[in-house]
Amino acid sequence: MRYTTFGRNTGLRVSELALGTGNFGTRWGYGSEKEEARTVFDGYVNAGGNFIDTADSYQFGQSEEMLGDFIAADREHFVIATKYTLSASPNAGAAVTGNSRRNMIASVEKSLKRLKTDRIELLWAHFDDQMTPLEEVVRAFDDLIRAGKVQYAGLSNFPAWKIARAETLAELRGWSRIAGIQVEYSLADRSAERELLPMADALGLAATIWSPLGGGMLTGKYRTSQEGRLKGFAGRLVHTEQDPTLLDEIICVAEELNIMPVQVAMAWLRYQSAQLQTSLIPIIGSRTIEQLAETLLSLDVKLSEAQAARLNEASAISAGTPHKQIAGTLLRAQGLDAEYTKLTPPRA
């Protein structure tokens, strides 16, 4: 496994794939027992991985508890990312959820205990709660970073304009900068290309990608059956609408390369990272060692330009407003104004 810096604004070195640990534990009524989770963890580490993603709410705290045991013997080797916003309690109320300074500090203290560590390398606000002022979130991040309990901060599942504003506030006020974003992105859902990924590139933010396999849809396992699709994460991360054209193209490319569809989907993300000029770090949520092994094989896969183009066409989305209007204006300008064609953009 290769390594990259976490965006352009940090020197933090992380592996090109992160390990998601939402399946570590069984308090949600599904997931992995400790022995199985340990096997997946060891397989990832043996492949060179060092970037682990968890959350206080995963398995109601059990994910962090297991992870704390797993990393204890070699804590310095790992970059640990966890999240707050929700809660480790299954019966959490309004006072102990959300993005307030109060909840952030309390959540971090509890996460540190479950993780059996004195610091968290990367703290995410898990979701935009649509209530807490951005100034409060960013300043609380800065306080925890200055205290040494957190080293970097990021925003997960936030609108692009809020992330950009938070980063601007931090820059202007001398607070610790936003280091990265976490968003859903895959061949099954490319909507992050409209605003979030271009913003991350412009601001130098890392982009970690959750559900890189569309909740399992892109593996092709559920092409003819819904069986098993709603067991993990209560079906919330699963793309239930199958696109036969997209799946056909993924399977066709897989057959050409003599690999599995999961490896095509993951290889496409690496291709897109280069094309979008954004550091994309997929979070793989393998529940079994077999699933992990299948996914890791994608690190050796390289798509041809023609294969990537076919996948892009099959998964294409509308640019949406205002991007389609901007593109239309530029196209008209190219036809009406000969001088426009002489302009060289600042970057490709």
* pLDDT for 276 beyond 80: yes
3-state secondary structure of 183: strand
Q: Global pTM?
A: 0.91
pLDDT of residue 221: 76
Reported as half-sphere exposure (CB side, CA atoms, 13 A), residue 150 has a value of: 29
Q: Check residue 158 and give left, alpha or beta (phi > 0: left; psi -120 to 50: alpha).
A: beta
CA distances (Å), origin 89, targets 55, 131, 221, 242: 12, 21, 33, 34
CATH of range 3-317; options 3.30.450.40, 3.20.20.100, 3.40.50.2300, 3.60.20.10: 3.20.20.100
Helical H segments across 72-219, by residue range: 101-115, 134-146, 160-173, 196-203
Say how far apart CA 255 and CA 272 lie, in whole Å: 21
pLDDT of residue 78: 98
* Nearest Cα to Cα of residue 283 among 107, 38, 49, 120: 49
3-state secondary structure of 39: helix
What average pLDDT does this structure show over 10-25? 97
Q: Of all residues in the chain, what percent are helix, strand and coil, respectively (each to 5)?
A: 50, 15, 35
Q: What are phi and psi of 81, to 5 degrees?
A: -115, 130
Say how far apart CA 83 and CA 55 lie, in whole Å: 4
What average pLDDT does this structure show over 248-273? 96
* Nearest Cα to Cα of residue 20 among 55, 45, 48: 55
**How does DSSP classify residue 175?**
P
pLDDT of residue 92: 84
CA distances (Å), origin 16, targets 101, 208, 307, 345: 32, 10, 22, 30
pLDDT of residue 339: 63
Reported as a pLDDT band with limits 50, 70 and 90, residue 135 is: very high
* pLDDT for 338 beyond 90: no
Q: Convert the pLDDT of each residue in 80-101 to its tens digit.
A: 999 999 989 988 888 889 999 9
What average pLDDT does this structure show over 272-296? 93
Q: How far apart are the first and last CA of the chain?
A: 28
Please give the structure tokens belonging to residue 291: 């699933």
Catalytic residue among 3, 30, 44, 58: 58
What average pLDDT does this structure show over 225-238? 51
* pLDDT for 7 beyond 80: yes
pLDDT of residue 335: 58
* Nearest Cα to Cα of residue 304 among 253, 342, 269: 253
pLDDT of residue 226: 54
pLDDT of residue 328: 72
What average pLDDT does this structure show over 209-226? 82
CA 271-275-281 angle, 5° bins: 55
What average pLDDT does this structure show over 262-287? 93
Lowest mean pLDDT among 125-134, 211-220, 246-255: 211-220
* pLDDT for 329 beyond 80: no
Is 58 a residue of the active site? yes
Higher pLDDT, 224 or 271: 271
* Nearest Cα to Cα of residue 61 among 12, 115, 105: 115
